[in-house]
Amino acid sequence: MKLSNQIAIVTGGGRGIGRQTAIDLAQEGCKVMIASRSESELQETVAVIREFGGEADRFVGDLTRQENAQGLMKATLERFGPPTILINNAGVLRVTPFEEITMEEWDSVMDVNLRSVFILSQLALKEMMKHRRGYIINISSTAALDVSSAHASYGASKAGVGGLTQSLRKAASPYGIKVSAVYPGMTETQMVKEFHEKNEESSWLLPQDISDCIMFLLRTSERCLIKDLIPVNR
């Protein structure tokens, strides 16, 4: 896929992986709509993009609510046009012993990490089907492949993202729309650092590493059959 003039939506775009991906997409010539619940972080990301001449706008809202996801899609259509790229990156992490996880925690993690991905993917797919082109990339986690007892809600939600990606891929394929999942390992983001301490022996990925994987998938989509990527810690 040639990225120049593509229209991209990036969720969780105010910091970490989402922020880096939004900046990299804009540097490639994409018009980027960045979504998050934090307006100040979005403003900063949009300012960085506009500073180097990129095109970007922001949408503030809780994407677990269907009306907000619809609002994001409407804002994208009105500002830039039909999206051709969707990066479902928004996520939350909770580290709690299995026996202490509350239903409130379980539901909140599932809502952000899985429900919002389904809602926005469905909306984007309907738009992409009209034009028979597009690429949806969902950010899962290696925590989905080996779920620890303290990451039950997070790991299960990210495993759900993997299953959802497979189903979405089958629905999208007849229309020429590509769907992939990226499974980052431990990545040096504010979210991860809130729950895990990095020591001298730690080998963590950087947000740039994950963005590089996303860019690889997008750039090679017309000649590469790779479905999902698991970045390797450096």
Which runs of consecutive H residues, i.e. helices, occur in the chain? 16-27, 39-51, 66-79, 103-110, 116-131, 152-172, 190-193, 207-219
Whole-angstrom distance, CA of residue 197 vs CA of residue 97: 17
In order of 11, 56, 66, the CA distances from 80 in angstroms are 16, 9, 21
Helix crossing, 116-131 with 152-172: angle to 10°?
A: 10
CA–CA distances in Å: residue 119 to residues 82, 135, 228:
17, 16, 21
Closest CA to 9 of 68, 57, 47, 50: 57
Please confirm, yes or no, whether 135 is among the known catalytic residues: no
Instruction: From the candidates 135, 154, 175, 183, give the one annotated as an active-site residue.
Output: 154
Compute CA distances 58 → 25, 38, 51, 149, whole Å.
14, 10, 15, 36
Residue type, 30: C
Length of the chain: 234
**Contact call for residues 25 and 32 (beta carbons, < 8 A):** yes
- Active-site amino acid positions: 154
